Amino acid sequence: MRTDPFEPRWLTANQRVRALGLTDEQTRWSSGDSRLSRGLYDLVRAAAPSVVVETGVCYGFSSTAILSALEHNRKGHLWSIDLPTLDPNGRINSDGVRDTSHVVAPVGVGAAIPEDLRERWTLVPGDSEVELPRLLAQLGEIDFFFHDAEHSYRAMMREFTLAWERLAPGGVLASDDITWTRAFQEFAGVRGLRPVYFPKALYLQRKLLRRNVLYRGWVRKPSPG
Protein backbone atom coordinates (compact mmCIF):
# COMPACT_ATOMS: atom_id res chain seq x y z
CA MET A 1 0.00 0.00 0.00
CA ARG A 2 1.36 3.43 -0.95
CA THR A 3 1.77 6.04 1.78
CA ASP A 4 -0.73 8.90 1.61
CA PRO A 5 1.41 11.87 0.49
CA PHE A 6 -0.95 14.66 1.50
CA GLU A 7 0.24 15.36 5.05
CA PRO A 8 4.00 15.45 4.35
CA ARG A 9 3.45 17.53 1.22
CA TRP A 10 1.18 19.89 3.13
CA LEU A 11 3.88 20.31 5.79
CA THR A 12 6.46 21.05 3.09
CA ALA A 13 4.14 23.57 1.41
CA ASN A 14 3.69 25.48 4.66
CA GLN A 15 7.43 25.43 5.37
CA ARG A 16 8.15 26.84 1.92
CA VAL A 17 5.71 29.70 2.41
CA ARG A 18 6.95 30.46 5.91
CA ALA A 19 10.41 30.81 4.37
CA LEU A 20 8.99 33.94 2.68
CA GLY A 21 8.38 35.39 6.13
CA LEU A 22 4.64 34.70 6.18
CA THR A 23 2.62 33.14 9.00
CA ASP A 24 -0.16 30.55 8.71
CA GLU A 25 -2.68 33.24 9.62
CA GLN A 26 -1.46 35.50 6.80
CA THR A 27 -1.96 32.76 4.21
CA ARG A 28 -5.21 31.20 5.46
CA TRP A 29 -7.24 33.34 3.02
CA SER A 30 -5.16 31.92 0.15
CA SER A 31 -6.60 28.42 0.76
CA GLY A 32 -3.86 27.63 3.26
CA ASP A 33 -6.43 25.63 5.23
CA SER A 34 -5.70 21.92 5.48
CA ARG A 35 -9.39 20.93 5.65
CA LEU A 36 -10.21 22.67 2.38
CA SER A 37 -7.11 21.38 0.63
CA ARG A 38 -7.64 17.85 1.94
CA GLY A 39 -11.11 17.87 0.39
CA LEU A 40 -9.66 18.94 -2.96
CA TYR A 41 -6.93 16.31 -2.72
CA ASP A 42 -9.46 13.55 -2.04
CA LEU A 43 -11.62 14.69 -4.94
CA VAL A 44 -8.73 14.61 -7.41
CA ARG A 45 -7.61 11.24 -6.09
CA ALA A 46 -11.07 9.82 -6.74
CA ALA A 47 -11.55 11.48 -10.13
CA ALA A 48 -8.12 10.29 -11.35
CA PRO A 49 -7.84 12.95 -14.09
CA SER A 50 -5.12 13.12 -16.71
CA VAL A 51 -5.57 16.75 -17.76
CA VAL A 52 -6.27 19.31 -15.03
CA VAL A 53 -6.69 23.07 -15.39
CA GLU A 54 -6.96 25.62 -12.58
CA THR A 55 -7.32 29.38 -12.62
CA GLY A 56 -5.78 31.27 -9.72
CA VAL A 57 -2.67 30.05 -7.95
CA CYS A 58 -1.53 32.60 -5.35
CA TYR A 59 0.97 30.73 -3.12
CA GLY A 60 -0.07 27.37 -4.54
CA PHE A 61 -1.73 25.54 -1.66
CA SER A 62 -4.58 24.26 -3.83
CA SER A 63 -2.07 23.46 -6.57
CA THR A 64 -0.10 21.41 -4.06
CA ALA A 65 -3.21 19.46 -3.09
CA ILE A 66 -4.01 18.72 -6.75
CA LEU A 67 -0.44 17.80 -7.61
CA SER A 68 -0.11 15.56 -4.56
CA ALA A 69 -3.18 13.64 -5.73
CA LEU A 70 -1.85 13.35 -9.28
CA GLU A 71 1.46 12.07 -7.94
CA HIS A 72 -0.30 9.49 -5.79
CA ASN A 73 -2.37 8.43 -8.82
CA ARG A 74 0.85 8.22 -10.85
CA LYS A 75 -0.71 10.12 -13.73
CA GLY A 76 -1.92 13.55 -14.71
CA HIS A 77 -0.63 17.08 -15.32
CA LEU A 78 -1.80 20.42 -13.94
CA TRP A 79 -1.90 23.64 -15.97
CA SER A 80 -2.39 26.73 -13.78
CA ILE A 81 -3.28 30.23 -14.98
CA ASP A 82 -2.45 33.13 -12.69
CA LEU A 83 -2.18 36.92 -12.79
CA PRO A 84 -0.84 37.77 -9.33
CA THR A 85 -1.91 40.73 -7.24
CA LEU A 86 0.99 42.33 -5.38
CA ASP A 87 -1.01 45.01 -3.57
CA PRO A 88 -1.53 43.88 0.07
CA ASN A 89 -4.99 45.48 -0.12
CA GLY A 90 -5.91 43.15 -2.97
CA ARG A 91 -8.08 44.44 -5.81
CA ILE A 92 -11.69 45.25 -6.57
CA ASN A 93 -13.36 42.71 -8.86
CA SER A 94 -15.93 43.50 -11.54
CA ASP A 95 -18.75 43.13 -8.99
CA GLY A 96 -17.20 45.90 -6.91
CA VAL A 97 -16.10 43.48 -4.17
CA ARG A 98 -12.60 43.64 -2.72
CA ASP A 99 -10.60 40.42 -2.98
CA THR A 100 -7.65 40.58 -0.57
CA SER A 101 -5.75 37.67 -2.15
CA HIS A 102 -2.20 38.71 -3.03
CA VAL A 103 1.39 37.55 -3.03
CA VAL A 104 4.31 39.41 -1.50
CA ALA A 105 6.27 39.30 -4.77
CA PRO A 106 5.99 37.62 -8.19
CA VAL A 107 8.28 34.88 -6.90
CA GLY A 108 5.54 34.03 -4.41
CA VAL A 109 3.26 32.56 -7.10
CA GLY A 110 3.24 28.83 -6.51
CA ALA A 111 5.92 29.14 -3.83
CA ALA A 112 4.25 26.48 -1.69
CA ILE A 113 4.53 23.76 -4.35
CA PRO A 114 7.21 21.20 -3.36
CA GLU A 115 10.01 20.72 -5.87
CA ASP A 116 9.28 17.03 -6.40
CA LEU A 117 5.77 17.84 -7.68
CA ARG A 118 6.75 20.46 -10.23
CA GLU A 119 7.36 18.03 -13.08
CA ARG A 120 3.58 17.66 -13.29
CA TRP A 121 2.95 21.43 -13.21
CA THR A 122 2.88 24.11 -15.90
CA LEU A 123 2.30 27.74 -14.91
CA VAL A 124 0.61 29.94 -17.52
CA PRO A 125 1.16 33.59 -16.52
CA GLY A 126 -1.59 36.02 -17.45
CA ASP A 127 -5.25 36.94 -17.15
CA SER A 128 -7.57 33.94 -17.34
CA GLU A 129 -9.94 35.92 -19.55
CA VAL A 130 -7.25 35.81 -22.24
CA GLU A 131 -5.29 32.70 -21.36
CA LEU A 132 -8.07 30.23 -20.49
CA PRO A 133 -9.61 30.09 -24.01
CA ARG A 134 -6.13 29.70 -25.49
CA LEU A 135 -5.14 26.93 -23.11
CA LEU A 136 -8.38 25.01 -23.53
CA ALA A 137 -8.04 25.19 -27.31
CA GLN A 138 -4.49 23.89 -27.02
CA LEU A 139 -5.40 21.01 -24.70
CA GLY A 140 -8.56 20.01 -26.58
CA GLU A 141 -10.26 18.05 -23.81
CA ILE A 142 -9.79 18.25 -20.05
CA ASP A 143 -10.79 15.97 -17.19
CA PHE A 144 -10.86 18.36 -14.24
CA PHE A 145 -11.30 22.14 -13.88
CA PHE A 146 -10.81 24.15 -10.70
CA HIS A 147 -11.78 27.83 -10.51
CA ASP A 148 -10.01 30.00 -7.95
CA ALA A 149 -9.40 33.23 -9.90
CA GLU A 150 -11.60 36.35 -9.87
CA HIS A 151 -14.77 35.57 -7.92
CA SER A 152 -17.12 37.94 -9.72
CA TYR A 153 -20.34 36.63 -11.23
CA ARG A 154 -19.19 37.44 -14.76
CA ALA A 155 -15.74 35.86 -14.38
CA MET A 156 -17.01 32.72 -12.67
CA MET A 157 -19.80 32.10 -15.15
CA ARG A 158 -17.46 32.72 -18.07
CA GLU A 159 -14.87 30.26 -16.79
CA PHE A 160 -17.44 27.60 -15.91
CA THR A 161 -18.97 27.84 -19.38
CA LEU A 162 -15.64 27.70 -21.22
CA ALA A 163 -14.35 24.79 -19.16
CA TRP A 164 -17.61 22.84 -19.41
CA GLU A 165 -17.44 22.89 -23.20
CA ARG A 166 -14.01 21.21 -23.05
CA LEU A 167 -14.73 18.94 -20.11
CA ALA A 168 -14.81 15.23 -20.92
CA PRO A 169 -17.93 13.23 -20.00
CA GLY A 170 -17.53 12.15 -16.40
CA GLY A 171 -15.14 15.04 -15.79
CA VAL A 172 -15.30 17.32 -12.74
CA LEU A 173 -15.80 21.08 -12.52
CA ALA A 174 -14.97 22.48 -9.08
CA SER A 175 -14.87 25.99 -7.65
CA ASP A 176 -13.56 27.81 -4.63
CA ASP A 177 -15.49 30.60 -2.86
CA ILE A 178 -18.84 29.63 -4.37
CA THR A 179 -20.73 31.89 -1.98
CA TRP A 180 -19.27 35.10 -3.40
CA THR A 181 -21.91 35.04 -6.16
CA ARG A 182 -24.77 32.86 -7.40
CA ALA A 183 -22.78 31.81 -10.47
CA PHE A 184 -21.95 28.27 -9.36
CA GLN A 185 -25.45 27.49 -8.15
CA GLU A 186 -27.05 28.96 -11.27
CA PHE A 187 -24.61 27.21 -13.59
CA ALA A 188 -25.44 23.87 -12.00
CA GLY A 189 -29.16 24.58 -11.77
CA VAL A 190 -29.79 25.36 -15.43
CA ARG A 191 -28.03 22.11 -16.38
CA GLY A 192 -29.92 20.00 -13.87
CA LEU A 193 -26.76 19.18 -11.96
CA ARG A 194 -26.61 18.41 -8.24
CA PRO A 195 -23.60 20.18 -6.66
CA VAL A 196 -21.60 18.57 -3.91
CA TYR A 197 -20.09 20.87 -1.29
CA PHE A 198 -16.85 20.09 0.50
CA PRO A 199 -15.26 19.55 2.88
CA LYS A 200 -18.40 18.25 4.58
CA ALA A 201 -17.02 18.73 8.08
CA LEU A 202 -16.62 22.47 7.52
CA TYR A 203 -19.96 22.70 5.73
CA LEU A 204 -21.82 21.00 8.56
CA GLN A 205 -19.97 23.02 11.17
CA ARG A 206 -21.06 26.29 9.58
CA LYS A 207 -24.56 24.87 8.86
CA LEU A 208 -25.39 27.59 6.34
CA LEU A 209 -23.68 28.86 3.21
CA ARG A 210 -22.61 32.38 4.02
CA ARG A 211 -20.85 35.03 1.96
CA ASN A 212 -17.08 35.29 2.33
CA VAL A 213 -16.74 31.93 4.07
CA LEU A 214 -14.40 29.58 2.24
CA TYR A 215 -16.72 27.04 0.64
CA ARG A 216 -16.02 24.88 -2.38
CA GLY A 217 -18.32 22.86 -4.57
CA TRP A 218 -18.14 20.54 -7.54
CA VAL A 219 -20.27 18.97 -10.23
CA ARG A 220 -19.65 16.06 -12.59
CA LYS A 221 -20.40 16.21 -16.30
CA PRO A 222 -22.88 13.48 -17.21
CA SER A 223 -21.83 10.79 -19.63
CA PRO A 224 -23.89 10.42 -22.82
CA GLY A 225 -26.94 8.22 -22.42
* Cα–Cα dist 179/60, whole Å: 21
- pLDDT at position 94 is 64
Q: Which of 29-33, 63-67, 71-75 has the lowest mean pLDDT?
A: 29-33
Q: Which residues contact 18 (CB under 8 A, 6 or more apart)?
A: 24
Q: Which of 142, 115, 100 is nearest to 9 (CA)?
A: 115
Task: Encode pLDDT of 18-48 as tens digits.
Answer: 888 776 555 554 555 677 788 899 999 999 9
Residue 158 confidence class, pLDDT cut points 50, 70, 90: very high
Task: Report the amino acid identity of residue 34.
Answer: S
Task: Report the amino acid identity of residue 64.
Answer: T
- pLDDT at position 212 is 45
Q: Cα torsion at 5, 11, 14, 16 (round to 10°)?
A: -80
pLDDT at 133 over 50: yes
Structure letter (DSSP) for residue 119: G
Q: Say if residue 190 is exposed, middle or buried (CB neighbours under 10 Å; 0-12, 13-18, 19+).
A: exposed
Q: Say what the pTM is.
A: 0.85
Task: Report the amino acid identity of residue 145.
Answer: F
Task: Encode pLDDT of 160-216 as tens digits.
Answer: 999 999 999 999 999 998 888 999 999 999 999 999 987 544 544 444 444 445 478
Q: Which residues contact 123 (CB under 8 A, 6 or more apart)?
A: 57, 80, 82, 109, 110
User: Can you identify the CATH homologous superfamily of domain 6-220?
Assistant: Vaccinia Virus protein VP39 (3.40.50.150)
Q: Which of 11, 10, 13 is nearest to 111 (CA)?
A: 13
